[in-house]
Amino acid sequence: MAVLLSKLGRFSFRQRWLVALLWTAVLVLAGVLASRAPAPPPDDFSIPDTEVQQAYDLLDERFPSLNADGATARVVFKAPEGKVTDPEIRSDVKETLGKLSEAPQVGQVVDPFTAKSVSKDGSTAYAQVSYKVPAAELSDSAESTLLDTVERAGSDDLTVEVGGNAVGGAKEAGHRSEAIGLAMAAVVLVITFGALIAAGLPLLTALIGVALGICGITALAEPLGLSGTTTSLATMLGLAVGIDYALFVVSRYRGELARSRSREEAAGLAVGTAGSAVLFAGLTVIIALVGLGVVGIPVLTKMGLAAAGTVGIAVLIALTLVPALLGIAGKRVGPARPRKGRRRLLRRTPAADGEDGSTGTTPETARPGLGVRWARFVTRRPLAVLLLCVAGLATLAVPASQLQMGLPDDGSKAESTTQRRAYDLLAEGFGPGFNGPLMTVVEAEDGGDAQAAAKRVATRIGDMDGVATVAPPRMSDKGDTAVLNVVPTSSPDSAETADLVHALRAPELEADSEARVLVSGTTAMNIDVSQKLSDALVPYLALVVGLAFLLLIAVFRSLLVPLKAALGFLLSIVAALGAVVAVFQWGWLASLLGVAEPGPVMSIMPIFMIGVVFGLAMDYEVFLVTRMREGYVQGLSPREAVLGGFEHSARAVTAAALIMISVFAGFIGSSEQMIKTIGFGLAAAVVLDAFVVRMTLVPAVLALLGHRAWRLPRWLDRITPNFDVEGEKLHAEEGQGAAPHPANDEATASPVGGADAADDSREPVATSRRT
């Protein structure tokens, strides 16, 4: 694999203008196709094989107008002392409704006094505004007209607020967050490379990859049913991995130039070694994203596929366009220059010691870098570091045991928003359960009397605990199906409301009413989604971790290293989930992070985090550990290989992690709770996985395992393909190949604390050690 990729890198470097032209042509073609593509379809929130979806499908068939896809807004009017029905207030309300009916894209406005949508105390009324188009297709003018009309309608005697999916917030979404992440990534790159051209190249290629991915998603939106939201994850991940993958190739290229390689030779070696790591790291990310299809929620599957495609583009760009642009940049991307006091250490030998007791190190010897010093600290006391890290991650993971999942609604928005104020006014006037009504569908069995069955069901439901009101049944045109609106006494996200949903779904209710009873609504959907995600969690983990484990066996030719990688990931993801629960559910640091209202964590968040973070975690595992294995197969002892891996890769891995954190953290500033939660969760997971697990636990565990870390049983070694990620064949072709390490022979391998312990005093050397 390394030899093949090296040839690809050399070809791209030599034919730089051809490669750049081809990528430009692909980008232009994708842009043209995207510009001519029809608008993407609305989000498909269907959840196959759930009772909620069965109810919605039945409503689509029997009550097409009731289950319309058009956007809705609920305008709430609040008058003091129950005067909302006074003639003067009624006149102001009707004037406001008249203006709303003339607003763009409005289909219908329901008068609250005609529909009897007035609270018992006469203080609150609400009007339902229905639009002709879905929320995703609502124009900016329609939304601004709605908000302006509501704002002008308020007075000293009348409070007017509005909620519903017609009132946006998501549209302002990510561009500002993406810009913040890009700016922070640019700063990290400039510090890492110390040169503007070298720093700008990963940014340029990442933007090209994201643009190509978004154009592809837009062009394929209609035939593949990709909604507009599928681009959010693709943009976030494509930007992060695109910068990281290019960073590793450019960093290795500059390192090879520093070893006096020619530019073409350096490009070939960079793509053959760092490019191999990029390829397999990208495959792990793609496996994790495609695996989201196991959950069985279409919108999540499509988001994963779209993001996987963007990651695949980022890999191809890193392997072809990056070396081409390095060739075009020429001498403007120079070799890596060692910073002051950061020259590589030479090994001290007793013969070099002076008679006066001074060391015989040459004048080239200087203080090692921070990464090497950190790895040396960890490998000298690995057990203590291991226990401390595990204890710290376990402590962070404690809140995850109290995880409560839910779907975001207007009640989770900031109190400063009109949506939240409308939500609170409705809860005060009509009760806390009014914001989360349950839609109960009653279908007569075998031609029975649906109306009579609906009345029996309504009577039974009205006698249940936790029910505030039951609306009269609404019959379908054919009279074979009825709909009952059930308002709970408790809030939508409470345990009492969830218990009521389970009671409504009890078999006894269907048996007594002699009809089929289905429960839907936001709360019921939340329960079904949570259950479906919970059921899919184990199969998803088994699929993703299992496939990645097999892939890493081939990459590292070891059993213990992939096992360590998987266990380390589980520690980091549970700890990150604990941090999410502490902040977004318990409210810790809520004001600092701008969390409007602590509450249940979004249902989709845990499995979403697992999928994304697993792929990213394996990125750092592959990038860091392949460099360690590269040193090991060239003859370094296990500890020397760990220190050598940090000497060559720690700076680049640190920069890559900081870039990833910057991109994700930029989304914490979003006003949308869902986007804020995703940004925080992913940023926290990368912090923990990159710096605690990969940069700390990995060297500690490898130091404890010694030679055993790199062993593969003989029978498995014979059937495992050798991808040569560390580029051993490349070095052999250059006359630098190392003989097999003695530890590869089980007869001569030393246990931990044996011969390997004697090697622990040695530092990385300037040249490869051969045996």
Q: Where are the domains of the chain?
A: 1-36+177-337, 72-165, 340-367, 372-417+532-724
758: confidence class by pLDDT, cuts 50, 70, 90: very low
Q: Quote the pLDDT of residue 20.
A: 94
Highest mean pLDDT among 19-28, 235-244, 324-333: 19-28
- Mean pLDDT in the chain? 80
- In sequence order, the 6+-apart residues with CB closer than 8 A to the CB of 480 are 62, 443, 444, 447, 450
Question: Which of the two residues, 533 and 380, has the higher pLDDT score?
Answer: 380
pLDDT at 738 over 60: no
> Mean pLDDT across the stretch 52-56?
85
Q: Distance between CA atoms of 289 and 692, rounded to whole angstroms?
A: 24
Average pLDDT on 69-87 reads: 84
DSSP 357: S
> Of the ranges 105-109, 339-343, 684-688, which is most confident?
684-688
What are the CB-based long-range contacts (under 8 Å, 24+) for 249-252? 249/274, 249/275, 249/278, 249/318, 249/319, 249/322, 249/323, 250/193, 250/198, 250/201, 250/202, 250/322, 250/326, 250/333, 251/192, 251/193, 251/336, 251/651, 251/652
- For residue 68, the model assigns a pLDDT of 55
CATH number of this structure's domain 72-165, picked from the four choices 3.30.70.1320, 3.30.70.980, 3.40.50.880, 3.30.750.80: 3.30.70.1320
pLDDT of residue 744: 38
For range 158-187, the mean pLDDT: 72
Q: pLDDT, tens digit, for every residue of 619-674?
A: 788 888 888 888 888 888 889 989 988 888 888 888 888 888 887 887 787 766 77
Over residues 102-131, mean pLDDT: 87
688 vs 717 pLDDT, higher one: 688
pLDDT bucket at 4, cuts 50 / 70 / 90: confident
**Which token pair is 622?**
């592959």
Would you state the pLDDT for residue 116? 81
**pLDDT for res 544:** 81
H/E segment holding residue 545: helix 522-556
HEC states along 427-486? Answer: HHHHCHHHHCCEEEEEEECCCCCHHHHHHHHHHHHHCCCCEEEECCCEECCCCCEEEEEE
Per-residue pLDDT averaged across 284-304, rounded? Answer: 84
The DSSP letter of residue 118 is B
Percent of the chain at pLDDT > 70 equals 85
Q: Do domains 1-36+177-337 and 72-165 have the same CATH topology?
A: no
Quick one: average pLDDT of 49-56?
Answer: 83
Q: What is the mean pLDDT of residues 159-170?
A: 79
Name the fold adopted by 1-36+177-337. Multidrug efflux transporter AcrB transmembrane fold (1.20.1640)
Q: Which of 182-186, 300-304, 522-526 has the lowest mean pLDDT?
A: 182-186
Report the range of poorest mean pLDDT among 165-174, 176-185, 447-456.
165-174
Q: Residue 248 in contact with residue 623, Cβ under 8 Å?
A: yes
What CATH class is the domain 372-417+532-724?
Answer: mainly alpha
**Using N-to-C axis directions, what is the helix angle for 298-316 and 605-633, rounded to 10°?**
30
Q: What is the pTM of this model?
A: 0.76
Q: What is the pLDDT of residue 726?
A: 59
- Answer whether 277's CB lies under 8 Å from 318's CB: no
pLDDT for residue 256: 86
User: Which pLDDT score, from 0 to 100, does residue 344 have?
Assistant: 47
Q: Which residue has the higher pLDDT, 24 or 333?
A: 24
